[in-house]
Structure 1
Amino acid sequence: MAEPAGFRIPFARGGTGDRAFNRAFGGFLNTCGFEHIRQPADGHPLHGSAPFTPARLNSYGEDWNTAEPLLYCEGELVVWTFGGSGHRLHRRIEAPIGGSTLRIVDTVEVVGPDPAPIMALYHFNLGHPLHQEGTKISLDGVVVAGPLPRHEPAPSQPTLHTASPGRAVCRVGGGGPIVAFHWSSDTLPWLQLWRDLRPGCGVLSVEPCSIASSEDGRNTSAPLIEPGRSLRFEIEVILAEAVPHLLPDNVP
């Protein structure tokens, strides 16, 4: 019989001051949550227990019998602690054939015995050539960061920006390739930005997230979700240079 905890790896565990996230920092996307996001607090690790938890691949393939033929894969992971909270993530990734879009559709369910919050932060890492001298980041047509220099002497403090109701659009670019992020602000009403442009780091992070942060950097409160209930998160990543008609004309 499979235990509720699912697959486990040694560093995917909680603990006061735990910064396991920094020991495996990398890749295009780190999914953060679901009992906690942001800095370690109240016994929760940096960005929660979900990052780097092993997942089970359930299916993959191609679907030509739709209006939009696509490649897809589906999988799930479980983050569970005896005596604590439990969450199950079901993820579907779609890539329309011949297109320039990557679509992520997540359903996060509370699987523990008690009500629990569902917090989510999608930590996208962008480097060269998306970041270069003069790169700008806009949210719903308004520049919220930049033009950025090539290097900075120290990491920035995270900044938080409110997305427009309905469908949010974040665009990153400046003189080279452009990428756009589209998501539903019903469940991800915030955009957090962070960067470390020191030589040898050079990372620019775009982070749609479900809750805000207070002045001291801690999470604001999140509603409790009953066991068996879930939240749905959807994000599209678009190579905007290839499909400019998908972006509003007023996005700088």
Structure 2
Amino acid sequence: MLDIALLSWRGSQIAWQSPAGMRPVDVFAGGPRAFERGFGGFLNTCGFDHIRQPTDGLPLHGSAPFTPARLMDSGENWDAEEPLLYCEGEAVCRRQGDPAYRMRRRVEAPIGGATIRIRDTVEVIGPDPATVLALYHFNVGYPAVRDGTEVLLDKGRVAGPLSIPETEARAATLHRAYGDWADCRVVSPDCGPAIDFRWRTDTLPWLQLWRNLRPHSGVLSIEPCSIGRLTDGANEPSLPLNAGEARSFAIDIAFASTRYNRQFRGGRGAQV
């Protein structure tokens, strides 16, 4: 899916790494929870026919994760107003008789900067209308996640200060994002790295948080997603797109030292 595996900031590893390493997984042949055997690295893209818990023959987080992508272009652009590195690619998610999708992705990193930009377009390429659901599974580990780490959404605290290790995995929580762009910060104490996730809320109006900070796990997942969740855990209804129609998603990730982010602490964010 042209996802992001290793990622470091000023010598500190940001991405959580699974003890199993990076491994290809067939989310259908591997059983309804095959995603849990393969996820790791900084980003796993989930969707597009389904997100969240397995249901109606659809696996955990849908059929998109671990789909091979085709690299279409990559390089550097020194003539742009903001010189940058970039890569572009596409992945096709299709099984005969099921909804079919093409995701086109562009990833940009300004040269000498501290930002990654992800721009996706997901098109329905099958003959029938289909819903387009998306969940971006960003996985953060030590040292970005440590004792005292907080998660802020639109300047309100939605998790933490964390005390690590925890004795059990936590159930996912869902938080509504407001404004044209959501702003979610993972803020570490002392001089640890701080991560600022920003995303467009017209197509990603929710933040889902999940963590397993028990010994030998230690992962915090920041998950911008396209749809809410009912009280029984099922996805809210979503209107399908017609064949040939597409939905676009935009996410920016910026990195800084914690000392520049302390002014954003305080308050509590809305929780659903």
TM-score (structure 1 length as normaliser): 0.91
Superposition deviation, residue 165 in structure 1: 2.4
Partner of 1:83: 97
Give runs of aligned pairs for residues 176-191 of structure 1, distance below 5 A. 176-191=192-207
Partner of 2:181: 167
Which residue of the other structure, out of 37, 40, 44, is the alignment partner of 1:23? 37
Matched residues, number: 242
Moved over 4 A (4+): 247-252
Give runs of aligned pairs for residues 191-230 of structure 1, distance below 5 A. 191-230=207-246
Residues 149-200 of structure 1: per-residue CA shift (max 9 Å, x gap): 1111111000000001201100001212100101101110000000001100
When the two chains are superposed, the root-mean-square deviation of aligned CA atoms in Å is 2.0
Residues 191-242 of structure 1: per-residue CA shift (max 9 Å, x gap): 0000001100000000000001111211111110011110110101100339
Residues 15-48 of structure 1: per-residue CA shift (max 9 Å, x gap): 7961111111211100000000001001101100
3-state secondary structure, aligned to 1:23: helix
> Quick one: percent identity of the two aligned structures?
54
Which residue of the other structure, out of 66, 88, 113, is the alignment partner of 1:52? 66
3-state secondary structure, aligned to 2:231: coil
Give me the whole-angstrom Cα distance separating, in 1, the residues matched to 2:100 and 2:44: 19
Matched, 1:140 2:154: yes
Segments of 5+ residues of structure 2 without an aligned counterpart are 1-22, 267-272
Matched, 1:43 2:83: no
Give me the whole-angstrom Cα distance separating, in 1, the residues matched to 2:109 and 2:175: 28
Give me the whole-angstrom Cα distance separating, in 2, the residues matched to 1:243 and 1:83: 53
Residues 24, 38 of structure 2: 8 Å contact kept: no
Residues 125-154 of structure 1: per-residue CA shift (max 9 Å, x gap): 000011100110000010001111111111
Cα–Cα, structure 1 residues 22 and 57, in superposed 2: closer, same or farther, change >3 Å? same
Residues 101, 124 of structure 2: 8 Å contact kept: yes
Segments of 5+ residues of structure 1 without an aligned counterpart are 1-8
Superposition deviation, residue 243 in structure 1: 10
